[in-house]
Amino acid sequence: MSNTEETKVEGVERWRFALVLAVFALLLLVVAGRMVMLHTIEQPFLFEQGEKRTVRSEVQMASRGNITDRFGSPLAVSTPVVTLWVNPQQVDPRKLTSVAKMLGINSRELIRKVDRVARQGRSFYYIKRQVQPEIAEQILSQKIAGLYGDDDFRRYYPAAEITAHTVGLVNIDGKGQEGLELAFEDHLKGSNGSRQVVKDLFGNVIKQLGVDSVAKSGNDLALTIDLRLQYLAYRELKAIVQSHHAAAGSAVMLDAKTGEILALVSQPSYNPNNRATLKPQHMRNRAIADLIEPGSTMKPFTVAAALESGKYSANTPVNTSPGYVRIKNKTIRDHRDYGVLDLTGIITKSSNVGVSYLARDLGAESIWQFFSHAGMGNPGTLGFPGEAVSSIPYPEQLDDLRLSTVSYGYGLSVSPLQLAETYTSFFDGCRQHVSLLLEQVGSQECEPVMSKRTARQMLNMLETVVSLKGTGKRAAVDGYRVGGKTGTAHKIGRGGYEDSEYTAVFAGLAPLTDPDLVLVVVVDDPKGQEYYGGEVAAPVFSRIMDQALRLRQVVPDKPGKDQMLQVAGGIR
């Protein structure tokens, strides 16, 4: 009995032993199989996921190039700031109360928004962009989980509204939107760098795996603008626009010898540092983008064409009686009957009839050619966004009437900047191309317009405009010989020329002995009793010119009324 029992037990044991062994072997096989799978089939996926959890691709922001004036004063500067954001999935919204307080935002609203974004399943939300680095550091030092700070740059415009139109502005992402910021976007913007790094739990970089690209900061841009002149031109222009309740205004100052733009201002202006108050109508760079009919400021070119033809001299008499002339059912009028005027007198008195006679005598072809050389109808060369293209009718389109109107500045259009450019040709007969960047200065040959002798004669004629008997006597500057021409153009409305809306213009040079500056002042739609170029624009011209010549330390070339030499504050 015991024997049979023993065999039974042995039999059971062997069977059970085999089963347990088999199960263990199977388990081992499963584990081994799983290991093989993990190491072969799923390996790439797992490796990638592992990398994703430790390896970070970091972007390094490149700073944008600065814009400076000709002496290096900053006009646009990028300064490092911090952009704060949260991962709503990780952050405890109640902890954001103190953060909101430090940033000056409504904490309840912030918490509500973060909650909502968290419920939507998103994992990114801006708390505030472009925070001062000191404040951001304080906030980040609280080590709130899920709150992060990224390096960023903010653009500041120290000269604000004074250079706003020229410099332009960038949007919150640092991309150029207006002005030079837009035109030279590629030059100014740098290229961001990026690198692969391994980070530990606290966000410290412990290993750098590779650098995809190195951050390269953008290039600086030096303008020909002189901030001091820009400032005083802006101040005087703003004053006149306000006191005459004008719709707009602009002023352009050029170096007469090189065509460098020293000041370029427009009114109304805006503060580019405060994006909340931007209004599109204030952002128009009127000195470049607006086309005006230059009006009488074109007359000197008609007269210069007459001198160049050889048929006329400065003293050739022209009979402008009876003060009007009828051409094709239209009457061209002077202010009054000036009788017989010589060419100088035509400029001094700004006689429409006189220049009409001259233009018709010279013919459409030669007037057109002369005006074209002077720069009328040339496309803008600055590459500025919205730069206006001046226009002049072709000679075939210039019948007697249109030729007459063109001769005194109607029926053709230029921007204030282009008008200033044409006036550089009175310096030595050669029109200088304007330039706004220091590196571009002198890169283009000047365009011959008239002989040096004619240019000199023209300067003398332009001086008579500013004399007591001229239309622009209020443009005179004490101590300097100034020459220029007034212009008053009717504005164009829906039904043709408006009767009571004008553009007042003054364009001129100083000092005439050796011209240093060209200045054009345009006041758009001045209200009130005064609207002539000689009444509105000329006084501004005088004030800007007076201060600018002093600032540039130009030697006075006109003896004072009392010839006595006087000394103030020591001898130079």
Partner 1 sequence: MTVTHGFLWMLVIISAVAQVQVVSWHRNLLQEWQGTDRTRHELLQENTRLVLEKSTLTAHGRIDSLARKKLDMKEPEHTQVFR
Binding status of residue 403 toward partner 1 by CB under 8 A: no
Residue among 56, 87, 140, 151 that touches partner 1 (CB under 8 A):
151
- CA dist list (Å): 511 to 78, 234, 466: 39, 21, 12
Beta carbon nearer to partner 1, 253 or 374: 253
Beta carbon nearer to partner 1, 46 or 206: 206
- Distance (Å, whole) CA 101 – CA 142: 14
Binding status of residue 569 toward partner 1 by CB under 8 A: yes
First to last CA, the chain: 142
Beta carbon nearer to partner 1, 70 or 550: 550
Residue among 206, 239, 340, 389 that touches partner 1 (CB under 8 A):
206
Binding status of residue 133 toward partner 1 by CB under 8 A: yes
Binding status of residue 278 toward partner 1 by CB under 8 A: no
Q: Least distance to partner 1 from the beta carbon of 188, Å? A: 15
Q: Specify the DSSP element, H or E, that contains 285.
A: none
The 3-state DSSP class for residue 401 equals: helix
The 3-state DSSP class for residue 141 equals: coil
- CA dist list (Å): 521 to 232, 421, 496: 13, 13, 24
Size of the site for partner 1 (CB under 8 A): 36
Q: Which residue has the tokens 């030697």?
A: 555
Binding status of residue 562 toward partner 1 by CB under 8 A: yes
Degrees, nearest 5: CA angle 28-29-35: 90
User: Do residues 148 and 84 make contact, with C-beta atoms less than 8 angstroms apart?
Assistant: yes
Residue among 235, 238, 360, 456 that touches partner 1 (CB under 8 A):
235
Beta carbon nearer to partner 1, 118 or 466: 466
Q: How many CA atoms lie within 13 A of 87 on its CB side?
A: 8
Beta carbon nearer to partner 1, 485 or 543: 543
Binding status of residue 53 toward partner 1 by CB under 8 A: no
- Distance (Å, whole) CA 410 – CA 392: 10
Q: Least distance to partner 1 from the beta carbon of 66, Å? A: 8
Binding status of residue 136 toward partner 1 by CB under 8 A: no
x/- letters, 18..37, toward partner 1 (CB under 8 A)? --------------------
Interface region with partner 1, contact rule CB under 8 A, candidates 69-77, 245-253, 274-282, 437-445 = 69-77
Q: Least distance to partner 1 from the beta carbon of 564, Å? A: 9
Residue type, 34: R
Binding status of residue 567 toward partner 1 by CB under 8 A: yes
- Distance (Å, whole) CA 269 – CA 132: 27
Residues ≥6 apart with Cβ < 8 Å to 494? none
Tell me which residues in 447-506 interact with partner 1 (CB under 8 A): 478-479
What six digits make up the tokens of 564?
């006595």
- Distance (Å, whole) CA 297 – CA 466: 13
Residues ≥6 apart with Cβ < 8 Å to 23? none
Binding status of residue 148 toward partner 1 by CB under 8 A: no
Binding status of residue 324 toward partner 1 by CB under 8 A: no
Distance of CA 420 to the CA centre of its chain: 18
Binding status of residue 70 toward partner 1 by CB under 8 A: no
x/- letters, 215..234, toward partner 1 (CB under 8 A)? ------------xx--xx--
Which residues are paired to 148 by β-bridges? Answer: 85
The 3-state DSSP class for residue 60 equals: strand
Residues 296, 351, 404, 415: which is the catalytic one?
Answer: 296
Binding status of residue 158 toward partner 1 by CB under 8 A: yes
Binding status of residue 568 toward partner 1 by CB under 8 A: yes
User: Do residues 332 and 324 make contact, with C-beta atoms less than 8 angstroms apart?
Assistant: yes
Beta carbon nearer to partner 1, 63 or 486: 63
Angle, helices 400-407/364-374, rounded to nearest 10 degrees: 30
Query: Ramachandran region of residue 568, left (φ > 0), alpha (ψ -120 to 50) or beta?
Result: beta
Beta carbon nearer to partner 1, 113 or 235: 235
Binding status of residue 238 toward partner 1 by CB under 8 A: no
Residue type, 217: S
73 included as an active-site residue: no
Beta carbon nearer to partner 1, 298 or 549: 549
Binding status of residue 85 toward partner 1 by CB under 8 A: no
Q: Residues with catalytic annotation?
A: 296
Please report, as ranges, the residues that interact with partner 1 according to CB under 8 A.
Answer: 63, 73-74, 77-80, 133, 151, 156, 158-159, 205-208, 227-228, 231-232, 235, 478-479, 550, 555-556, 559-560, 562, 565-569, 571-572
